Structure 1
Amino acid sequence: MSIYENRRGFFSEVAKRIGRHPGSLIVLTHCLPDRPELLDALNEICNISLVIVVPYSINPTTYGSISRKYRVVAPTMEQLTTANFLTELIRPFVNRLATYILEIGGYFARELRALHEEFGSSIVGIVEDTENGHRRYEAMISLPYPVVSVARSPLKLAEDALVGPSCVFSIERILRSRGTLLQGRRVLVLGYGKVGKGTAKALHAKGCHVLVYDVSSVASVLAMAEGFVVPDRRAALATADIVFGCSGFRSIDIADVGFLQDGVFLASCSSKVIEFPVADLAKTADSHIETGNVHSYEVAGRTLNLVADGAPVNYLDDAVIGPVLALVQAEMMFALELIINEGKMLGSNLINGVADGTREVVATLWSRCFRNPSSGAYVL
């Protein structure tokens, strides 16, 4: 049995436990090889009226597959960040009785008030997957709809631990395609949170000289305690051959260009195009060449090699793959159930989460599907 067959069986079991509900579901997601099984399971719970795919993560085969089953749109990043674009986009697909939104990245956060003004209680609530998205909803003064986030769930830690290694894999593949190696490079990790920590450890295992910088003194001390050097920010930027942005914020600005090494590679490990000043580089660059997913900008007499043009580097290789990803995806399904059953009572000014007991159910079902009880390893 393949990993995809296991995923389908796992999600189907979760969907059966939740049951079928009226209303419609709008899904904003990445378009990667693991999505068809998840979408089919979500559709068992509630009719999917629209799938919106993030443009930097479109697998052509997957896009063709889901387009044959669902109404799918692929907006540009500019459209996704344009005021009221999503409100206008979903208008024909909102079920006036009950509509639920499941998204990744907090794209709907900026339009919540516009959504509420137009659709009112027709939209019941929102499920959010990522830390970036969680922060966007958290930063709002008030939330007109209840939001259930899985971004800070203990089950999310399993996925986050794999983001760093998947980013390192993609960078190593790109360097090899250009006739060079990752080993021995001085690599700076900006941000020592869940993703940054995994990235630093994966780089160390590859024989890199790893530097870490975090704006938090607490995170910096932890990085040092775990064996990494933590120089001042400018010193770190000046000596790094490769920079990984793992902060979840803007980690390098256009003013930092003068401190970077000529020929440096910049790679994002965030879930959005956020870590580097992509638009500013395009405006100020003396020249710009794209070669094999690397955008080389000539700025102030030096070359900056921006991998995937600032999009998450691991999406070049279908991001995090494997059974672990199904854990948090199943939790999102239960988060949807929470909104369906209790949306009116959750309260809109708090970001909610599923109960610990529900996570235990997810982990138990996952173990039955993906863990070999004899060896203790993943089922192959």
Structure 2
Amino acid sequence: MESFERARLDTYFSKITSQFRPEEQPASFLVTHLLPERPSFVRAVGAASDLRAVLPKPKSIALSAQREVETVAQCDPLSRDLFADQDRTLEYFENRARGERLVLLDVGGYFAPTLNAMGDRFSGTILGVIEDTENGHKRYAELDKLPCPVISVARSPLKDPEDFLVGQSVVFSTEALMRSRGDILHGRPALVIGFGKLGSSIARLLHAKGVQVTVYDIDPIRRTQALSQGFTVARDRDAALHNAGLVLCATGAVSLRSEDFSTLRNGAYVATVTSSEDELDLTTLPAVYDRTRDTEHVTRYQTTGHYFYLLNGGNAVNFLHGASVGPFIFLVQAEILAAIRMLARGDLTAGMHEVSAADRAVIAHTWLTYFNR
């Protein structure tokens, strides 16, 4: 990022934080991708709250961004295990924010497994959670009873541009890795599993590139949407897997389990839009499969009479090329800052919430002022 671009971004976030600054700053933990542009957002979170810890998602860390963030905030290693056990979660919360009014900024539902327990055991007050992804939205929505407000920006209209462009970046990176082996998209039928915002974006771009696309989704409403947009909709999932030369997983849940991999046709490529631990059940893949590195980011899985290729170890393939969606990401980041103020007021009931349409309009107007040039 050029210096003038960074200056404009910092000025934009300064304007956003002035518009949505809480009267009383809460403490916060921030789970985030540490991409090259992310330090500006981290600093903005630090201006809107007392940022006690940044927890970078482990598969998407730019070292230059991490070094910059470490100059302004504590960075801690993140894993699903960190917040899976009540006692371990409680120890972390107490070490970082004992007795504080705390806001949890999440990307993927990391705090969900022990959130109910922390509502009772933490010495401070959990004001609420802000969740950025559809996968995380589902994790919180599925809890029997939420102990605090959860503000989700995953389904915000301000996130639509980001979701569309992430889908485009997934196709770009998938094609780049295939070409690194001398293969191309054309002539290779594709199966897109999941027809949400990302899956539909992926399907549309593949179709625009002349690829034959089949869609599978467990939701019958999404299947009808896919059919209305001209896609083939799989009736038989196993048959669709067997016929596809490229499988793109975009569900935010487990798309492929151990028994599914043997169904793949020989030479098929598999790519995902999120981390392997969320999208693929690789741990139970039969041990008869030998794993060999074909190229730097392509792994060949082979057993007698069968083989397929896994891109980027099953992790989000677009992060190999920066996963950039341009300035559109700053829309939803501003909405996260607005959500901090909502939680800091302390007047929301336990349950799922969204940022108001009025606040979104303010954000969009401010964003256009800085980035519609």
Whether these two folds match at TM > 0.5 is yes
Task: Name the counterpart of 1:244.
Answer: 248
Contact 2:83 2:114 in 1 (8 A): no
> CA deviation digits over 1:83-106, x for unaligned, max 9?
654433332111513221111111
State the alpha-carbon separation in 2 of the partners of residues 164 and 3 from structure 1. Answer: 25
Gaps of 5+ in 1: 373-380
- Which amino acid letter does the alignment assign opposite residue 141 of structure 2? E
**Matching residue of 2:333:** 329
Question: Which string of whole-angstrom CA distances, capped at 9 and with x for unpartnered residues, describes residues 67-121 of structure 1?
Answer: 2221101234554656654433332111513221111111101011232232154
Q: Letter of the 1:9 partner, please give it.
A: T
Q: Superposed, which structure 2 residues align to 1:1-380 within 5 Å?
A: 2-19=4-21, 21-79=24-82, 81=84, 84-231=87-234, 232-270=236-274, 273-281=277-285, 284-290=287-293, 291-299=295-303, 301-341=305-345, 343=346, 345-348=347-350, 350-372=351-373
Change (3 A) 1:304 1:77: farther
Q: Output the CA distance in 2 between the equivalents of 1:175 and 1:202.
A: 16
Measured after TM superposition, the shift of residue 3 of structure 1 is 3.9
Q: Which amino acid aligns with 1:355?
A: S
Once residues 138 and 227 of structure 1 are traced to their aligned partners in structure 2, the CA distance between those partners, rounded to angstroms, is 32
Query: Cα gap change, 1:82/1:120 in structure 2, threshold over 3 Å: closer, same or farther?
Result: closer
8 Å CA contact retained: 1:29, 1:103: yes
CA 1:4 to 1:179, structure 2 compared with 1: closer, same or farther past 3 Å? farther
The superposition leaves residues 160-212 of structure 1 with CA deviations (integer Å, 9 ceiling, x where unpaired) of 11121010011111112222222332111011111111000111122222111
Partner-residue secondary structure (3-state), 1:267? strand
Query: Is the partner of 1:248 in helix, strand or coil?
Result: coil
Change (3 A) 1:272 1:8: farther
Structure-2 separation of matches of 1:371 and 1:271: 33
> What TM-score comes out, normalization by structure 1 length?
0.91
Q: CA deviation at 1:18?
A: 2.2
Q: CA deviation at 1:289?
A: 1.6
CA contact (8 A) 2:189 2:213 kept: yes
Distance 1:23 1:77, change over 3 A: closer
Aligned length: 368
Instruction: Give the aligned residue type for 2:29.
Output: I
Q: CA deviation at 1:216?
A: 2.3
Q: Can you list the C-alpha shifts for 1:220-275, whole angstroms capped at 9, x where unaligned? A: 22212211112332221111111000122212221122321112111112366322
Query: Comparing 102-111 with 228-237, which one deviates more in the overlay?
Result: 228-237
Q: Using the alignment, how far apart are the partners of 1:182 and 1:93 within structure 2?
A: 48
What does the per-residue CA deviation read over 1:283-340, in whole Å, with 9 as the maximum and x for residues that have no partner? 5243112331222222463222121222111122222420111111100100111000
Kindly tell me: are residues 279 and 2 of structure 1, through their superposed partners in 2, closer, same or farther at Cα, counting changes over 3 Å? farther
Root-mean-square deviation (CA), in Å?
A: 2.0
Closer, same or farther: CA 95–77 of 1 in aligned 2, 3 Å = closer
Amino acid at match of 1:11: F
What one-letter code is carried by the residue in structure 2 that aligns with 1:338? M
Distance of aligned partners of 1:77 and 1:116 in 2 relative to their CA distance in 1, 3 Å threshold: closer
Amino acid at match of 2:207: H
8 Å contact kept, 2:90–2:122: no
Overall identity of the aligned pairs, in %? 34
What amino acid sits opposite 2:16 in the alignment? V
In structure 1, distance between residues paired with 2:333 and 2:21: 17
For 1:314 and 1:2, how far apart are their aligned partners in 2?
26
Q: Could you tell me how far apart the structure 1 residues matched to 2:262 and 2:304 are?
A: 7
Letter in 1 for 2:284: D
Q: 1:343-378 deviations in whole A, cap 9, x for unaligned?
A: 2x2111x20111110000010001001102xxxxxx
Query: TM-score, normalised on structure 2?
Result: 0.92
In the alignment, the residues of structure 2 paired with residue 183 and residue 315 of structure 1 have an alpha-carbon distance, to the nearest angstrom, of 23
Would you say the 8 A contact 1:285–1:297 is kept in 2? Answer: no
Q: Could you tell me whether the CA contact under 8 Å between 1:258 and 1:300 is conserved in 2?
A: no
Q: In the aligned structure 2, how far is the partner of 1:213 from the partner of 1:194?
A: 14
Q: 1:187 to 1:171 in 2, by over 3 A?
A: same
Tell me if the contact between 2:43 and 2:72 (Cα under 8 Å) persists in the aligned partners: no
Q: Does structure 1 conserve the Cα–Cα contact (< 8 Å) formed by 2:80 and 2:110?
A: no
Give the secondary-structure state (helix, strand or coil) at the position aligned to 1:358: helix
